A = this chain, B = another copy of it.
């Protein structure tokens, strides 16, 4: 039998999806499972987008240009320029979701062994795309205690080597929900200019900023044209995850002309998706207002409930639709599995993502979980009640006091 590649062996399995068999079993056993584990919102996709799909009137489902249709890129330009990006359709390459945007960006800028610095915790699949291209992710710890703010620039400076090519941020952040301030963005700008690095910015959650804190993109900063690569997707913005429609935006021509070669290799993004994406740009502002109000209410439900549980701490995030919570537990992987395998409250349980999957640093996130508030407030309240009851009886419960004792006994 021929061998699997070493790359294939090293490739990480999805840490979020590995608990799925336990959830499936729980459901087979008749239990209700509240899915707070993945970023698949229950929010309805804008009617205009769905209607555009239903109205297709072509007879041949043909390739589009590798960079996407001009009409879609024109509409996107309208959307981004309303947000102050000052771009033209020539600055865009349409991709199969944010995923393809990331892998093309990595291949365009980094060779095997090159390094990208990412504040952690971070979206686990960054690791996967790095692994695909034999790129090294250098994590820099951010901390739950200050809500996962940008780590000090001195930490970045310490991590930069002659292999460092880029800094990769995600704001509003998955998994933390943290929204970088203008000051933090300015600090990153100075850093990438000083060291001549790319700044990759995953902006999947751009539309979901709360507390009246403004969203600041690196596209809003002057003097970064050659450094900034924006990764975007319609997945979360329009609750259209299954459309697989994203894009890369950059004013760096050399980057664009290289990235398009990777895009040409896979021929074309989807035609129907681009038609839908074009319609999506005309989504009325009320859609986002309604969705933001809904997410804000959900976030409040979850954050309040969590912080009212004994031994639990959950920062109040400024964006996205995730929270990270510190729980009084020994091991989040074990806890999340136990929730599905062993626990039941009124025949219900909760599926969460162990935070360990979002960290590269060994041992980090052991007592943290990520919750996606992608269910309605009613179900979220029931899920929180479930979690509260679970924490009372979890055999691996660890309080701050006995965690400290344990640490001392090890020393």
Contact = CB atoms under 8 A, between A and B. Distances in A.
A370 interface: no
B56 A42 contact: no
A128 B264 contact: yes
Interface size of A as a range: 35 or more
Given A8-B108, A261-B14, A262-B11, A270 B243 contact: yes
List 7 tightest A-B contacts by C-beta distance, closest first. A242-B271, A128-B265, A99-B266, A8-B258, A14-B264, A61-B240, A1-B226
A202 to B, nearest CB: 14
A64 B243 CA distance: 10
Interface stretch (A46-54, A140-148, A314-322): A46-54
A133 B6 CA distance: 13
Interface stretch (A109-117, A170-178, A325-333, A380-388): A109-117
Given A107-B132, A272-B53, A264 B13 contact: yes
A227 interface: yes
B60 A44 contact: yes
A282 to B, nearest CB: 17
A62 interface: yes
Given A56-B50, A226-B2, A262 B132 contact: yes
Given A2-B198, A112-B112, A44 B59 contact: yes
A342 to B, nearest CB: 26
B243 A109 contact: no
B268 A244 contact: yes
Nearest to A258: B8
Contacts of A152: none
Given A5-B107, A42-B60, A50-B59, 8 more contacts: A2-B109, A3-B109, A5-B110, A45-B60, A53-B272, A96-B96, A99-B266, A244-B270
Contact of A270 (B125, B242, B258): B242
Nearest to A17: B264
Nearest to A96: B96
12 contacts: A2-B196, A4-B108, A5-B108, A5-B114, A13-B264, A14-B264, A17-B66, A61-B239, A99-B265, A99-B266, A242-B270, A270-B273
A129 B256 CA distance: 19
A97 interface: yes
Interface string A23-67: 000000000000000101111110001100111101111111010
Interface of A: 1-9, 11-14, 17, 38, 40-45, 49-50, 53-56, 58-64, 66, 96-97, 99-100, 103, 107-112, 114, 125, 128-129, 132-134, 165-166, 196-198, 226-227, 238-244, 252, 254-255, 258-259, 261-262, 264-273, 276
Contacts of A4: 108-109, 254-255, 258
A111 B6 CA distance: 7
A265 B127 CA distance: 9
Contacts of A38: 63
A133 B132 CA distance: 8
A271 B238 CA distance: 15
A132 to B, nearest CB: 6
A244 B63 CA distance: 9
Nearest to A197: B2
